[in-house]
Structure 1
Amino acid sequence: MSTKTTPRVGTQATMRSQTRSVIPPHSELKTKTSVGGSTERIATASTFERLSSIGDTTTRSEVGQEMTSKTETTDLPFFKQDQFTDVVLQVGGKKLYTCRALLAFNSPVMAKILSSGSTKNKDLDLPEKEYEDVVELLAFIDPRVDYLITEQSAIALLPLAEEYEIRSLKELCEQTIIQSFRRMKKGKKPGSIPVDISLEYLHMADKYEFPGLRKLVTDEFVNNEDPNATKSLMESTLISEHMKLTVLDKKVEKVHFELDRERRERTAIETKLGDYGHKRIGRRPLLE
């Protein structure tokens, strides 16, 4: 499935901690003119503020701004019933109207749920899900909606992408988070990202098995000269023991590499000094 990235006109993001609108505050959505378990929170609003303050200016300008067009929020196809509606999602006491075939095509888990006899011709209840996150999910899979993903929406959608096995969304979330982390590191000394921020990213890389993100954050930890970095990593309850050992092994490798380099440099200096001494001793004495 191709990624839809046409930005929404006149609508920008807002923080989750603010008063919520009917549109997820951390994405940009636009209706196309042509009609065609428990969710775990990875980062809090305060974490998003810290991430955006380190990221690029585009991210900072999107976060914390109110919606400018309430009319646009009612244009999304799943906010009202139409001729394509054959299932209603019940989320947090609200209804979202969509198509069974659309859900089943994008999610093998949804396909099994919708094909079971207990859910046929009935509303589908999604308990303990965030309404805004489900709206984001529908916006991603609905071909009638242009969807621009941000790092904040990627973090929020990851649990749903994992639970419903939506591979294309999970891959898009990983790419978005990696790009954000790279922008954060751009122009900065390796290891300069605050430890608590690196731990957030390492947790995502570890939990969702993102090898590219895992390598980037591991390198950041290895180069972090903060004496509390290793301690914070070892005390974290969010990072698996395997991931902790992987980071520690990399740090040990770095120490061995630096020690070996120092030995080579010392040996080279001593060799030069020895050669210089031999040359002086081998010289003929000056004539009186």
Structure 2
Amino acid sequence: MATSCTKKEGTPGPDDSAFRTQSELSDVVIVVEGRPLHVNRSVLSLISPVFLKMFNGEWKGKAEVPLADKKYDHFVELLLCVYPPHGKLISMETLDVVLPLADEYGIESLKLRCEAFVLARFQHRITKFNNPPTKELVHFLYLADKYKLKTLLEESVEKVILRPYDGKGGVKMLNEFGLLSVEVKYRITSERLCLLEKQQCPFSL
């Protein structure tokens, strides 16, 4: 599935200079795609309960830890978002990279930052942000459903029920709409029905 943060060929990767070499504070090396990232296990353990469990379990005492199923640039983006003192802001280019990793590693604060980023777009004074194209809106809905972002789910549903449903360009025709949970699909169809009934009977209470 294509994401909004697909890196264009020739585009430089994220700034990994803080993690390329050993520092006074780094005490473990995480190897991603054969490339080392020098980090501090205590810092990662404070950020993520999953890292805490790993460093006290299968990774305990290891000076070097390989992550075979991760992409180097994606993991650097995660570190830049959560590792002090960086605190990199979420963007459309990084949302689909850091949100899945935040969910995988149980970093709830980063998940909430991702949610807040999209909600801020919904409230933006510029129309193209607060009223995104249907495909982008359904993508936000899909993320909210998949990663249990309750506030974003509410806001996305409110917008989606106002969009065309069937036919060319309708929300039902988009791939990610098909990936939504049964509960969310049912809610959308139910709320659309209620909306249509109110429009057809303007004097109803």
- Scaled by the length of structure 1, what TM-score is found? 0.61
What is the CA-CA distance between 1:231 and the residue it aligns to? 3.4
Structure 2 partner of 1:217: 156
* Pair 1:194-2:133 in alignment: yes
SS at match of 2:88: strand
Q: Which letter does structure 1 place at the counterpart of 2:115? A: E
Of 15, 26, 51, which aligns to 1:110? 51
Q: Distance in 2 between matches of 1:231 and 1:18?
A: 32
SS at match of 2:9: coil
Secondary structure of residue in 2 paired with 1:77 = coil
Tell me if 1:167 matches 2:158: no
- The alpha-carbon deviation at position 78 of structure 1 amounts to 1.4
Equivalence for 2:8: 17
Moved segments of 4+, more than 6 Å:
none
Name the CA distance, whole Å, in 1 between partners of 2:7 and 2:76. Answer: 14
Q: Distance between the aligned counterparts of 2:185 and 2:143, measured in 1? A: 14
Contact 1:233/1:239 (CA < 8 Å) preserved in 2? no
Of 83, 94, 115 in structure 1, the residue corresponding to residue 24 of structure 2 is: 83
- The CA deviation at 1:151 is 2.8
Q: When the two structures are aligned, how many residues end up with a matched partner?
A: 198
Provide the rounded CA distance (Å) in 1 between the counterparts of 2:190 and 2:118: 25
Task: Check the 8 A contact 2:135/2:174 in 1, yes or no.
Answer: no
Is the 1:86–1:98 contact (alpha carbons within 8 Å) kept by the matching residues of 2?
Answer: yes
What SS is found at the alignment partner of 1:95? strand
The residue type paired with residue 175 of structure 1 is A
SS in 1 for 2:106: coil
CA radius of gyration, larger in: 1
Match of residue 256 from structure 1: 197
Give a deviation string over 1:119-168, Cα, whole Å, max 9, x none. 42231111221211211221222223252321321221011100110111
Q: Report the Cα offset of residue 15 of structure 1.
A: 6.4
Is 1:130 the counterpart of 2:71 in the alignment? Answer: yes
- Distance in 1 of aligned mates of 2:171 and 2:98: 30
- State the match for 2:82 in structure 1: 141
Report the CA distance shift for 1:120/1:234 in structure 2 as closer, same or farther (over 3 A): closer
Q: Which runs of 5+ in 1 are unaligned?
A: 1-13, 24-72, 265-288
2:162 alignment partner AA: N
The CA RMSD measured in Å over matched residues stands at 2.7
- On the 8 A contact 1:89/1:125 being kept in 2, the answer is yes
Instruction: Assess if the C-alpha contact under 8 Å between 1:104 and 1:114 holds in 2.
Output: yes
Q: Hey, what does 1:50 align to over in structure 2?
A: none
Question: Greater RCO between the two (CA within 8 Å, min separation 6)?
Answer: 1
Query: In structure 2, what is the Cα distance between the partners aligned to 1:138 and 1:94?
Result: 15
Amino acid at match of 1:16: K
Unaligned runs of 5+ residues in structure 2 are none
Counterpart in the other structure of 1:45? none
